[in-house]
Amino acid sequence: MVENRQSLAYWIALQRISGVGPATYQKLLARFGTPEEIITRPNQLTGISDKIIAAIKQPDWSAVDKDIAWLEADDQRHIITIHDQRYPSLLKEISDPPCLLYVQGDVALLSKWQLAIVGSRNPTASGRKTAYAFAEYLAQGGLTITSGLAMGIDGAAHQGALSGGKTIAVVGTGLDRVYPAQHRQLAHDIVANGAIVSEFPLGTSPRPEFFPRRNRIISGMSLGTLIVEAALKSGSLITARMAMEQSREVFAIPGSIHNPLSRGCHQLIREGAKLVETAEDIIEELGALAGVSNASEQLDDAVYPSHEKDSDYQILFEHLGFDPVPIDTLIENTGLTADAVSSMLLLLELESEVESLPGGRYVRTGS
């Protein structure tokens, strides 16, 4: 059911009590039924600390009023409880679902079939393009793409999805803040063509401990999670392992053994994630369940560009692969002059077919 204003105020007030996290909130709801019953009869509370009970006796009603004012100022804003029919059904299935969600944008998207796409905040150019292309293709097919609005792979996934369909951003702050600030325009675009979701009340600033909590919502709302690039110690791996614990599908894109951002994906594949080379690999697993259709255009299967330039470029491509190669090695192996190799690499980099890496190394992007 959709809560009325007075009832919703009690839900928000309890959410704002310091020390009342998802597990405590659920525990209290299971015992007492409603936040109103909990807040108006605090003397009946047992099994929680005296400090939390004291806080429940003195809710911050001024902050609650501000949340309600935020909600009522725009019909694209929503605050939904776990009892609300708009609450995503898959998220209810996880062990610690948030009892309250703040949403800005199309709240109906929360009930659509979703695929999470996450990865490194500092991806390679190839990884960024891969995330964009997969998101665009799968969004065209009808899946909603869910990610975390972070720099790197998350941002590319949101942008790709927006070009093909819909996307949801789950954030680790209050919805009155945008983090990172560089994604302010992207956040506005997502509100216009998707939704931004948070379990955190308005005014919540980004803190490191909030992002793992955000990650369980990303994986919890989704049928599966795709990892594009991730180091061995990566927040994306936390999301993937949460998805595994939630009995959701996990997909990983392999990469070069020399790329540190491939090692997290390779580790997940060893742990049972499905190796993904094309979007069809994902549709094969999820398509029948989610009703995903093939997009009008297939992702390009050819990862080796056929550059329509003179034969020197063909020679260069024969010795330039998807593992980083020092420019000195390219000069030696191709037999071309240093000036010629440098000039061709510069042009190819401008055309996004080659990426330069630290240490004077180059690698093909797969575009």
Kind of pairing between the strands at 224-227 and 114-118: parallel
Candidates 246, 282, 240; CA nearest to 119 is 240
Predicted pLDDT at 352 = 79
- Cα–Cα distance measured from residue 106 to residue 109, given in angstroms and rounded to the nearest whole number: 6
Report the sign of the C-alpha dihedral through residues 168, 174, 175, 180, in that order: negative
Q: What is the pLDDT of residues 328-366, one digit of tens each?
A: 999 999 999 998 888 888 888 888 788 888 888 888 876
Burial 113-130 (b: 16+ CB within 10 A, else e): bbbbbbbbbebbbbbbbb
pTM of the model: 0.82
298-336 per-position pLDDT tens digit: 444 433 344 445 788 888 888 887 778 899 999 999 999
Give the model confidence (pLDDT) of 152-201 as tens digits.
Answer: 999 999 999 999 899 999 999 999 999 999 999 999 999 999 999 999 99
